Chains A and B, each alone.
Chain A
Amino acid sequence: MTFSWSRPITKIRKLALLSSLGVGLIASTLAGEAANAKTFRFAFQGELKAVDIYALKESFSLGVLSNVYEGLVRRNAEMKLEPALAERWETIDPLRWRFYLRKGVKFHNGEDFTADDVLFSVDRIRTPGSDLKANLPADLVAVKVDDYTVDFVLKTPNPLLIAEWETFSIFSRKWAVANGATEATSASATTPPYAALHANGTGPFIIVSHEPGVKTVFKANPNWWDKPKHNLDEVIFTPVTSSATRVAALLSGEVDWIDPVPVADIPRVESNPGTMVAAGPELRTIYLSFDQMRPELTGSNVKGKNPFKDVRVRKAFYQAIDVETIKTKVMRNLATPSPVMIAPALFSKYNDFKRFPYDPEASKKLLAEAGYPQGFEVTLDCPNDRYVNDEAICQAVVGMLARVGVKINLLAQTKSKYFAKILASGGYDTSFYLLGWTPATLENYNVFSNLMMCRDEKGKGSPTNLGGYCNPKMDDLVNKALVEPDPAKQEAMYAEAYKIALFDDVGYIPLHQQALAWGMSKKIKVPQRPDNYFIFAWVNKE
C-alpha cells in the first residue's frame, strides 16, 4: 500500500493483499467449477437503503453500489484514478475535457453503453432526488461528439473536475425511460421509485434481489468488460446492527467479512482461529471545534460574552487534551494523532506540522490569563454511534478538561439527533462539538471549503464550518491555492493556510485519524481502500 501508517500496528497483521490478487485468480481457475459455488457473505452495521446510487452520499452504500454501477473513471486500491467506462480522456483546453468511451460495454440487461447514456446520467444526477449533485460542477455542460466521445464544457477552470467521478455512475437511458426511473430516487415519491429496488449498471456484479434492511444478493456479471479481480459467484450482504452479534457472526463463521470491528474486540477476532483483522489508516479526521461566531454561547454559564472568541481559551482547551492517552486507551493504538485536518496520505507536508504539546499547566495559565482562572461550564455535543468510540473520546475529553477547571456537560446522542442539532438545519446549535470529516475529493481544498472558510448565519460559505471560524486572510490563500497549477506551490499554500487556522488562530483541535478495522475470515483476501469503500469485486475467497 502506498499509504504510510505512521507507526507499526502491533499485533495487527499488515496485509500485503494486493500482491495476492493474482494468486487468487489462478487458484480460482484451478478449483474450476467445484461443486460449491463461491459465495461471499458480509455484514455491515448499517443498511443498504435504496440501490439507486444517486440517492445517498454515504461511503458504505456508494462503495457497495460501485460494484454494480460504474463511472467513466474509477479509483484503484491505491486511490489513483484509472479509466473505467472511458478508455481515456484529455483536456483539450482548461474549459473542455474530452472523454473517449469504451466500446463493447453492455449494461446488465444487455443494452449497449453509448454517449447517450453519459448525457442522460449528467441530467439524472442533477434531478432533485439526487444527493450527488455536487459531484458535477453546476456550470458543466456535456456535449456528444459521436456515439463514443463526450465533451464536458466548463465556464471556469476546475482542476478537481473528476475527483468525485467514480460515483458519477452511468445509468442506461433506455432502461430508465422504460421503467420511469429518469429522476433520481426521491423519498417523497408516492409510488415506489423503480430504481430504488432495481439496478442496471455495467459493473462486475448484478443485483439479484434486494430486501431493504434484510438482505441483498449479488451475482457475478459473466459479461463484464474487464478481467475480474475476484473469484466469486455470489455475494450476500446482511446488515447486522448490534456490534456483539456482528462479531459473533464472524467468529462462528457465518459471515466472511464484517465492518466495523469494535476496537475492543480486535484481539478476540485475531486470536480466533480462522479470522483476522485488517487494520489500516482511514482518511477521516476526528476533530473538536468551538462556536467562535455568536456573541454569547448557547450552552455555557458564561453570559454576555463568548469565551471561545479568545484564542487563549481555544489554545487552553487544545493543550488540556492528552491525545496520546486517547490513542492508547480509547483507540487501542488504532489512531494517528493528527496536527492538521487532513490525513497524511492526502497531504505531502503533513509531517512538517507538530501538535501543540499536552500541557495542563500551560492550559490553566492560559485560562487564567483569559480571565477564567476557575474555568467555566460548556456543553459538548457528541454523537454516540457515528465514529469509532466517539462517546468514549468525548468522555475522556470531559475528564481532561475537568482537570484544568472546565466543566463539560456531555450531550452524547444518537446521530440523527446530534446532526439535527448541530448542522445548519438545526441553526448550528452548538458551542463545542466533535465531528469527523473525510474530504470526498481526497485533497485539501475540500477540507477548507467545507469546514474552515468563513460562513454567514445561514451557512453561506463553508456550510459545515459549524463554529463559524473565519479568517479572510486564510480564505484568500485557499482560493489562490485552488487554481495554482504547480502542485508543490499549491501544497505550500495549503500548509500556510493550516498554519494560520490551526496554529495561529487555534480555530480547531484536530484529534486523530481513526483506523479502519475490518474483520475477515482468513480465507478472504481483499485490498483495503482508505476511504472505506468496500469493493467486493476485489475479493478472493479460498
Chain B
Amino acid sequence: MTAEPLIDTDITPRTDGTDERRGRFARLLDSDIMASFLASKLTVLAGFVTFAFLIIALFAPLIAPFNPFDPAQVFLIDARDPPIWMAGSDPRFLLGTDDQGRDMLSALFYGLRVSLLIGGLGVLLSALIGVTLGLIAGYAGGRIDALIMRIADIQLTFPAILIALLVDGVVHALLKSGGREDTAFGVMVLSIGLSFWVQYARTVRGSTLVERNKDYVHAARLIGLRSPQILWRHVLPNVLGPVLVIATINLALAVITEATLSFLGVGLPPTQPSLGTLIRIGNAYLFSGEWWIVAFPGITLAVLVIAVNMLGDWLRDALNPRLR
C-alpha cells in the first residue's frame, strides 16, 4: 500500500519573509498557537483522547485487570464471554472475552500499547530515513538528488504488504528459524518504516531547496561550516515543522497499515496481539453475533486515528501562518 500523498501537499513551509532565524518548531510554543488549540473544543477533545490513550498504553501492565500476553493466565474455557451488561457474562470481564478467553479490556490496553509502539517506532524510522535522504537530496542536488528521487520512485511501486512479506522473509532467512514472536515486532516496524519514508524525503527535499538558497546558509558556508553541520544546525530546524505534521498523521496511518498487514497474514502473532491483530481475529465473529470481539478494538482504533489526525490537522493549520 502506498499511502504516500494522503496528506495535503501544501505543508512545505512558505516563506513569509519574517522570522527566518526562528524555526517553526520554536514557534510551536508560541502562545498564539496554544490559543488556537484551546479555541477549538474538538481539538481539545482530540488532544485529551490522544493523551489518555498514551497514558493507557504506557501503563497498560499496571492498569489492566489481566495480562493477556501471558498464555498461562488465559483460559480457553472463558472464551467468547459477552460484555458484562449482557446475559451470560462473567463479572470478571467488563467487556467480555475473545475467542481464546482473553479479557477484552486488558487485550485492548495491551493492544493499544503494541499498536502505538509499532506505529511510533515505524514513524520514527521512516522519518529518520526520509529526512536524512531529503536533506541530502535537497542540499546536494544534481546526481545525488536524482538518484535519491529515483529510489523514492522505486519504493513507491512496492506495496507495504510486499515490503512486509519481503522483510519478514529476509529476517527469517537470516535468523534461521527464529520464532515469530521474537521477530514479528521488528519486522512490522521495519516494514512500516520502509513503506512511508518517501513523503518525508520529498517534503524535506522541497524545503531544503528553498532554505539552501537563503542568506543564512550562504553565510554559514562562507564562515567555513561544513555541509553536515549546516544541514544539522541550520537547515534541519527549519524543516521540522512539516515533518512533525506528516509524522502525526502517519502515526495513524501506520497503525491502520499494521492492521491491514495483520489481515493479510503477516502481522503480529496472535499470542501478543496489537489492535490490528485483535480486529483481524474479531473480524471472523462479525456475523456470528459475538460482535464485541471486533467492535471494541475497531472503535478504539477509529477513535485513536481520528483523534491523532485532528491533532495533525490543527498542527498543520497552526504551523502555516497563512491559514490562520
Interface residues of chain A, those whose CB is within 8 Å of chain B, are 243-244, 247-248, 251, 262, 264-268, 298-299, 322, 325-326, 329-330, 379, 384-385, 391-392, 395-396, 398-403, 408-414, 417, 421, 429
- The contact sample of 9 A-B pairs, CB cut-off 8 A, is A330-B76, A330-B99, A398-B271, A399-B72, A399-B75, A399-B101, A408-B71, A412-B270, A429-B177
Q: Does B284 contact A (CB under 8 A)?
A: yes
Q: Would you call B23 an interface residue if the criterion is a C-beta within 8 Å of the partner chain's C-beta atoms?
A: no
Please pick, from A244, A248, A267, A396, the residue contacting B284 in the complex, using a CB distance under 8 A: A244
Rounded to whole angstroms, the CA-CA distance of A243 and B79 in the bound complex is 21
Contact, CB under 8 Å: B76 / A325: yes
Shortest CB–CB separation between residue B184 and chain A, in angstroms? Answer: 9
| Of the residues A267, A385, A392, A412, contact of B100 by C-beta under 8 Å | A392
Chain A residue contacts of B182, Cβ below 8 A: 409
- Assembled-state Cα–Cα distance A379/B180 (Å): 9
Residues of A within 8 A of B79 (CB): 329-330
Q: Mark B52-94, 1 if CB is under 8 A from A, else 0.
A: 0000000000000000001110111101100000000000000
- Taking the nearest CB of chain A, how far is it from the CB of B173, in angstroms? 11
User: CB < 8 Å: which of B75, B80, B287 contacts A268?
Assistant: B287
In chain B, positions 265-320 with a C-beta closer than 8 Å to chain A are 265-266, 269-271, 283-290
B181 with A399: CB separation less than 8 A:
no
When chains A and B are docked, how far (Å) is the Cα of A262 from the Cα of B99?
A: 13
Our pick among B169, B177, B265 for the contact of A299 (Cβ within 8 Å) is: B177
Q: Is the CB of A329 within 8 A of B288?
A: no
B287 near A299: Cβ-Cβ < 8 Å? no
Determine the residue in chain B with the shortest Cβ distance to A409: B179
CA A235 – CA B153 in complex, angstroms?
Answer: 46
- Range for the number of chain B residues in contact with chain A: 20 to 34
Complex Cα spacing A385 to B269, Å = 14
Bound-state Cα–Cα, A267 to B288, Å? 7
Smallest Cβ-Cβ distance to B70: which chain A residue:
A402
Tell me, in angstroms, the Cα distance from A251 to B287 when the chains sit together. 10
Interchain CB contact under 8 A, A410 and B269: yes
B interface residues (Cβ-Cβ under 8 A, vs A): 70-72, 74-77, 79-80, 99-101, 169, 176-177, 179-182, 265-266, 269-271, 283-290
* Most chain A CB neighbours (cut-off 10 Å) among B101, B181, B271, B290: B271
Which secondary structure dominates chain B's binding surface?
Answer: loop
Chain A residues with Cβ under 8 A from B71's Cβ?
Answer: 395, 398-399, 401-402, 408
Task: Report which of A299, A325, A384, A417 forms a contact with B77, defined as CB distance below 8 A.
Answer: A325
- Give the contacting residue for B289; candidates A267, A322, A325, A429; CB below 8 A: A267
CA distance A329 to B179 in the complex (A): 26
Please give me the residue from chain B that is nearest to A426 by CB atom.
B177
Q: How far is the CA of A326 from the CA of B100 in the complex (A)?
A: 10
B172 to chain A, nearest CB (A): 8
**When chains A and B are docked, how far (Å) is the Cα of A398 from the Cα of B100?**
11
On whether the beta carbons of B100 and A409 are closer than 8 Å, the reply is no
Residues of A within 8 A of B100 (CB): 392, 395-396, 399
In the assembled complex, the Cα of A63 lies from the Cα of B224 at a distance in Å of: 78
Whether B179 contacts A268 by the Cβ 8 Å rule is: no
Which residue of B76, B99, B180, B289 contacts A410 across the interface (Cβ within 8 Å)?
B180
Partner of B288, one of A265, A330, A379, A396: A265
With a cutoff of 8 Å between Cβ atoms, the chain B residues found around residue A299 in the complex are: 177, 179
The residue that A265 contacts in the complex, of B75, B180, B266, B287, with Cβ under 8 A, is B287
CA distance A265 to B99 in the complex (A): 13
The residue of chain A having its C-beta at the shortest distance from the C-beta of B80 within the complex is: A329
B70 to chain A, nearest CB (A): 7
Q: Report whether B181 and A410 are in contact in the complex, using a CB–CB cutoff of 8 Å.
A: yes
Contacts of B99 in A (CB 8 A): 264, 330, 392
Judge whether A264 and B285 touch: CB under 8 Å. Answer: yes
A406 to chain B, nearest CB (A): 10
Closest to B272 in A: A410
- Cα A298 to Cα B179 in complex, Å, equals 10
> When the two chains form their complex, are residues A395 and B265 in contact, meaning their CB atoms are under 8 A apart?
no
Question: When chains A and B are docked, how far (Å) is the Cα of A264 from the Cα of B288?
Answer: 6
List residues of chain A with CB within 8 A of the CB of B180: 409-413
Closest to B293 in A: A264
Contact B284 A399 (CB under 8 A): no
Measured between beta carbons, the chain A residues less than 8 angstroms from B181 are 409-410
Write out the residue numbers on chain B whose beta carbons fall within 8 Å of the beta carbon of A399. Answer: 71-72, 74-76, 100-101
CA distance A322 to B271 in the complex (A): 18
- Cα(A325)–Cα(B99), bound, Å: 12
Given contacts A251-B287, A322-B76, A409-B181, 9 further A-B contacts (CB under 8 A): A264-B285, A267-B288, A267-B289, A391-B270, A398-B71, A401-B71, A402-B70, A410-B181, A411-B180
Q: What are the 9 closest A-B residue pairs judged by CB atoms, nearest first?
A: A409-B179, A402-B72, A402-B71, A399-B71, A411-B180, A264-B288, A329-B79, A379-B179, A268-B287
Shortest beta-carbon distance, B119 to chain A, in Å? 23
Partner pick for A243 among B176, B177, B284, CB 8 A cutoff: B284
- Whether B286 lies near A244 (C-beta < 8 A) is yes
The distance in angstroms between the C-alpha atoms of A265 and B176, with both chains bound, is 38
Beyond A244-B287, A402-B70, is A298–B270 a contact (Cβ under 8 Å)? no
Q: Specify which chain A residues have a CB less than 8 angstroms from the CB of B271 in the assembled complex.
A: 395, 398, 410
For B270, B283, B290, which residue has the most chain A Cβ atoms within 10 angstroms?
Answer: B270
Cα distance A403–B75 in the bound complex, in angstroms: 10
- A414 lies within 8 A of B288 (CB): no
Taking the closest CB of chain A, its distance from the CB of B221, in whole angstroms, is 53
Give Cα A267–Cα B289 distance, bound, in whole angstroms. 9
Complex contacts, B284 vs chain A, CB 8 Å:
243-244, 262, 264-265
Q: Establish whether residues B177 and A395, one from each chain, have CB atoms under 8 Å apart when the complex forms.
A: no
Give every chain A residue within 8 A of B70 (Cβ-Cβ): 402
Q: How far is the CA of A429 from the CA of B100 in the complex (A)?
A: 28
Residues of chain B within 8 A (CB-CB) of A401 are: 71
**B77–A403 contact, CB under 8 A?**
no
Q: In the complex, what residues of A have CB within 8 A of residue B288's CB?
A: 264-268
A269 smallest CB distance to B (angstroms): 8
- In the complex, what distance in Å separates the CA atom of A128 from the CA atom of B9? 57
Contact of B270 with A410 in the complex, beta carbons under 8 Å = yes
Q: How far is the CA of A413 from the CA of B285 in the complex (A)?
A: 21
List of A residues within 8 angstroms of B177 by Cβ: 298-299, 379, 421, 429
Among A403, A411, A429, the most chain B Cβ lie within 10 Å of the Cβ of: A411
